[in-house]
Each structure stands twice: as structure tokens, then as C-alpha cells.
Amino acid sequence: MTAPAAQFKADAGRLSADLRQRGIIQTAMGKYEVVRDQRKAGFQDWQGARELAARTKFQAVNHLGQYLEDLASKLEARGTKVHWAGTGAQAREIILAILREKQARVVVKSKSMTSEEIHLNGALEGAGYEVVESDLGEFIMQLRGEPPYHLVFPSMHLTRGEIRDLFAEKLHDAPSDNPEDLTMVARRVLRQKYLQADIGITGANFAIAETGMISITENEGNARLTAALPKTMITLVGIEKILPRLADLGLFLPMLAVMGAGQLLTGYNTLYGGPRQPGEPDGPEEFHVVFLDNQRTALLADAEQRDALGCIRCGACLNVCPIFPNVGGHTYGTTYGGPIGSVITPHLRGLAEWKHLSDASSLCGACSETCPVKIELHHHLLQNRRNGAQAKPSWFQKTAFKIFAAVANNARWWSLVTKLARVGQVFQKPVKGTALDPASVWTKTRDLPPVAKESFREWWKGRK
Amino acid sequence: MSEREASFARIREALSVKAVGHDGGLPSVIEQRGVLPAVGSADEERLAQFRKNAADLRADFQQFPSEGDLMARVRELCQVEGWKKIATHNGKLAHAVAQSLGVPVLNTTEGYDKHELAACDAGMTECDALVAQTGSVLVTTLSAGGRALSCLPPHHIVVARREQLVPDLPAALELLQQKYGTNYPSMISFITGPSRTGDIERILVLGAHGPKKLTILML
């Protein structure tokens, strides 16, 4: 078993027994489900909207080169500096070079999963810069020294009491465990950081090819301030974030809001088309956009799973997945958790090490059914299983299926095996799930249905 | 080969294999409008819809028959909240209203000190549009005195005119294209309610980083 697979198994075992954490996640999900469904019902035709969104993303992803050219030239025309990073290391180096040139000290960041993907904070801190996450959930996780728990709700597994204790320890300021008081503590601390920061780093939700703009969705106003106050703004964008036209936002902004957090529209949806322009009162003097590949083109090359690049990171597939609330967000060991993470991580970080994630699925299809851009998530999980088996066949699986096929194709053997099973199950019962049970891996956590006393063929033969 | 060229070469190579899927092409705005949340056809209905959305978002929305009434309401807010200094920009209406209050006014239009703006009790801006479908206020660097004025002070006051109400997001995006052509302001923002967070136990708190209050006053 590979190290990530062993870690997954150990953590999943531990967390699925952690009823307290499961309870917290379930409560949060319960609240989400109610508002999400209300908002979906507000659409005239939600299924139709999914179809239109899927068409838009299909067009964007399958003409990625052309749209990226448009986007980059439009951005450059208005004074934005565009950079290209093939790998995470290249992206980190590009950003570090900007920080060095600007002689920066304090960096304020708004929420960006792509920056998590390339472990940007560690690299910047390692080089001596002070890096501050400004999204409240991300700020909390940064204080804890942990990666975000969920794509959209980074600190959803924590209680107010835990957050109060954290603030008391790290900030020496925790008046109570009231969420409002705690939020105001963070507001005060971070407001000072905004005023000090030399550099603002953001992610991107969409990148509009037609007009050369970066679209950022948020509720707190932290990305707005990150893009307004520091003299230099850096935006890290995965190359797949393309939307062809400004008009596409009319559909995507409300769909992201509904699926992400059950809102009609997220608090701030903001477009950035360049640094401060002549005649404008404020904004950064320099705007850098770093386009990141980091194996996205490997996923693009897989025509079967290419649609996974249409993902808008709303987190809806995690929220409906029967696995996620039971194993928790950190168990995946990936930047992107849940079904979408299990689909794309083998492409981004290697099939051999990450194929086990496709087994962490009941293949119920809830993820595919909820996905606002209609990614065939559970099919892709099966395809990853197939690809994993083809790349490194397991002699045990191959032999087992050969024997099964031989038995199932032969009526005599089949009847013999089912008769033996009736006897076998009597002996299996007392040792079920223990080391003596040959099927213990399976039966430890599952009940085997009893073999019928009489098979259909026997009944048919014996009927009067 | 530069990394830019290498990226495009990888993309070309990857896309040499065609995918099957949702290849119906980019949807039209008519198709979008057929699926999005419905908007009333009459102006009155849209106004009611904006009012309801604003209330759900905990924004304060009020209408006034005249500039004088609107100014009286802002004076009242100024007294109740005890504003010592406010910020605004060279919008005709916003500027006139701010000047009428008798408190010091920071004008951001020609540039400003960020510490001074952060110390203001309220930021008063105009806007490009109000969106009935979502209860949003559409602002840009040009219509709202820069990037920070509508976000940094704890209370954002928007002064708008009735004719600025548009039905839906597609209409607001069309308006941007018509108004600015290819020379867009460097920041365009749909503000939907006051700043909010639910990051602690999914409990709603207003005023995470941006304004704790959003007041929309319509003439």
C-alpha cells in the first residue's frame, strides 16, 4: 500500500469513529442543504441551468488555447503583467521574484485553493515574508497550522469554543465564544495587516477571455480589500478557470452562490481588468497574473475526463457525498477533497499514489447529480479504478475474478459452490471479522447476507 | 521555448484528441433568462423584488420623493450613528448629500490616504445599477470613488436613482458593455448585502471585513 493510501485508511478509520466531529459536520451540512434547496427552487429551471453551464464550460475547456490567448492579450493591453508557470515550483519562484523586486515584507492573501495546491504560504514564509490569510476561515486554519478542511468552508469542523481558545492562545484576544465577537477580533487584527501590506495575493473564480478580467467571488470583502490597498496585486489562476464571455457570469455567479453556500448571490462578485488606470483614485500600481498549469494539461489530454476541468470549486459534490462527512476533509490528504478531488488528484499528482481515492466512493452518483456543470464524477472514479488496475494489475484481483468467472459460467460448479456456502456460513459465523475469518477485511465492518436455504433451481426442480 | 510557448504547446497537444459531451455551443442570453430566477415584467414588480431581496440580505433600502427627503434621512443617520467624518467621491448626488451634513468630508476622487479613509465612519457612493433579481448594487472604480470607498468604511451608503434599477444580471452585464465599451474601469463589483461570514459554525455574522451596514437610498 502506498503511503497516501495507508494514511487515508488510518485517518478514515479514526475519523469515522469520531462521532463528535461527524456531528459537527452533519449539523453544518444540514443547514447548507436547506438553503441550497430553497435557492435551487428559485431558478425557473435548475436542470436547464446545469445544461447551459455544462455547455459553456465544454466550449471553454475544449478551446482553451484560443481563449487563454485572448485573455492574456486583453490583460496585457491594459498594463497587467502576465506570467506562465508550468509547475507549482515555477509559480512560487515567479511570485517570490516579484516580492524580492518590490522589497516586500507583509503579504495579505485572500482565499485561494490554487495557492494551497502549490504550497505558496510555506514558500513565502520560508523566504522570510509575513503572510496573512484574510478570509476568516482560512485565518483560523492558518493560526492552527492546518490546511483548509473543505473547499468552501475551511474551518467547518471547529466549534466556537475551539476558535475562542485558539484566539486566546494566538491573539490574546477572545472576549467570548460568540461568533460575532470572534469575527470582530479577526476584523481588527486583519484591518491592521491590510494597512501594512505591500502585496496582495488572490486566487480567481473565473477568468473572462472576452474582456480580459479576473472574477473573484467572496462574502467578507477581504478579497476586495486585498485588491484595493496594497501597491502590488498578484493573482494566481489555474489555466482552466476560463469563461468565454462577460455574459457567462450572468449564469455562473448565481449558480456558484447557490451550490457553494445556498445564497442567491455571494456578497461580492468583483472583476479586475488591470492595475490602477489613468484617472482612477486607487488600486495597485502593478497587477500580476500568474497562469498555472501544474498538470492541468495532463487532465486536458484525457478526453474521457476532460470535463473535470470545468469544475468551479463550489464544493457541492463534497456536501452530498456519503463519504466526506464520515471521513472528514483532512483524511483525503489532498488540496481538493471529496469526489472532485478524488477524480483530479490522480491526474495532478500521479495515479499510482492516489488511485485509492477512487475506492473511497459508494458510486452512488450523488456527486454527478448535484454538480452544477455536470461533471460525470462517479464515472470518472470508475475510470480511475480501471486505469489504476490496468497500470498495475493486482494478481490477487485477477485470479479472484478468473475463478469467479469460471464458477459463474458453469452451472454445476455454481450449484456446488452455493451448496458449500450454506455449510461454510455456519463455520464462518463464530469467527466473523476475526483473524481466523478468510474474508475478515470485508466482514470486519459488514454483514454478509445469509445464503438461501434453497436455490431457485432446487425449488423449480422440486415443485409439484 | 518560453514557458508561455510550452504551455500553449501542451494545450494544443492535449486538445488534438476530441472530447464528446455538452457541445451545444455557448448559450444565448435568452436561454440564460429562461432558466435563471424569474424577474417581474413590470417596473413596479421589479422594485418590489429588489426591496424584498435587500431585506433578506439585511441591507437597508429606502425610497425618497425628493433630494431634500433623502438628505434629511442621511442627516438622521449621521446623528444617530454619531458620524465624525465621512468619505465620498465626485458623484454629483453623493457629493451634494455628503456636503450637506456639516461633518468633515474626505473626497477620494483625486487620491487619498488609506489610513484616513479607514478612519471614516461611512462611505457614500453612487453606483452603475441596482439589480432586482439579486438585490445587488453594481459599482465600479469610476462610479463609486475607487476600489476601497465602498468597502473600507464600516457603513456603505449608496445613493441611486429609480431609473438605475435593472431587471437581472444579464441586463447589468449588458449595461456595463454599453456604458464602458472596451475601456472598462479596472474594478467592477456586484455588492450583494453587507459584508458577511459564516465561517464560525455556519452562523451569519455581518461585517467580516467590509461594511457592517449597507444602506441603499433611492430617489
**Residue in B closest to A282 by C-alpha:** B146
Is residue A450's pLDDT more than 90?
A: no
pTM above 0.90, yes or no: yes
Domain boundaries, chain A: 1-42+306-392, 63-294, 399-462
Of B24, B111, B199, the CB nearest to A136: B199
Q: What percent of chain B has pLDDT over 90?
A: 99
Substitution target in A67, A219, A294, A302 with the highest count of B β-carbons within 10 Å is A219
Q: Could you give the CA distance from residue A164 to residue A155 in angstroms, rounded to a whole number?
A: 13
Distance from CA of A303 to the nearest CA of B (A): 5
Where on the phi/psi map is residue A8: left (φ > 0), alpha (ψ -120 to 50), or beta?
A: alpha
- Whether B25 contacts chain A with CB within 8 A: yes
Average pLDDT, chain A: 95
Is the CB of residue A16 less than 8 Å from the CB of residue A26?
no
Q: Could you give the CA distance from residue A192 to residue B215 in angstroms, rounded to a whole number?
A: 25
At A430 the pLDDT is 85
At A293 the pLDDT is 97
Q: Which residues contact B71 (CB under 8 A, 6 or more apart)?
A: B96, B97, B100
Instruction: Tell me whether the CATH fold assigned to A1-42+306-392 matches the one assigned to A63-294.
Output: no
Q: Which CATH fold would you assign to the domain A63-294?
A: Rossmann fold (3.40.50)
At B182 the pLDDT is 82
Supply the ipTM of this predicted assembly: 0.97
Q: For domain A1-42+306-392, give its CATH number from 1.25.40, 2.20.28, 1.10.1060, 1.20.58.
A: 1.10.1060
Please give the C-alpha separations between residue A464 and each of A452, A458, A459, in angstroms, as whole numbers: 20, 12, 10
End-to-end CA distance of chain B: 59
Q: What are phi and psi of A318, to 5 degrees?
A: -65, -40
Q: What are phi and psi of A333, to 5 degrees?
A: 70, 20
- Whether B115 contacts chain A with CB within 8 A: yes
Domains and CATH numbers, chain B: 47-195 (3.40.50.10420)
Average pLDDT, chain B: 96
Hey, which residues does A271 pair with through a beta bridge?
A215, B188
At B81 the pLDDT is 97
**Residue in A closest to B13 by C-alpha:** A301
pLDDT digit string (tens) for A240-263?
999 999 999 999 999 999 999 999
Of B23, B169, B197, the CB nearest to A253: B169
Q: What percent of chain A has pLDDT over 70?
A: 100
- Whether B23 contacts chain A with CB within 8 A: yes
Is the CB of residue A243 less than 8 Å from the CB of residue A206?
yes
The strand order across the sheet containing B60-63 reads: B60-63, B213-218, B155-160, B122-125, B86-88, B105-107
E-only strand ranges, B55-202:
60-63, 86-88, 105-107, 122-125, 129-131, 136-140, 155-160, 165-166, 187-191, 196-197
Contact A282 B185 (CB under 8 A): no
pLDDT digit string (tens) for A70-124?
999 999 999 999 999 999 999 999 999 999 999 999 999 999 999 999 999 999 9
Binned at pLDDT 50, 70 and 90, residue A125 comes out as very high
- How many Å separate Cα A157 from the centre of its chain? 16
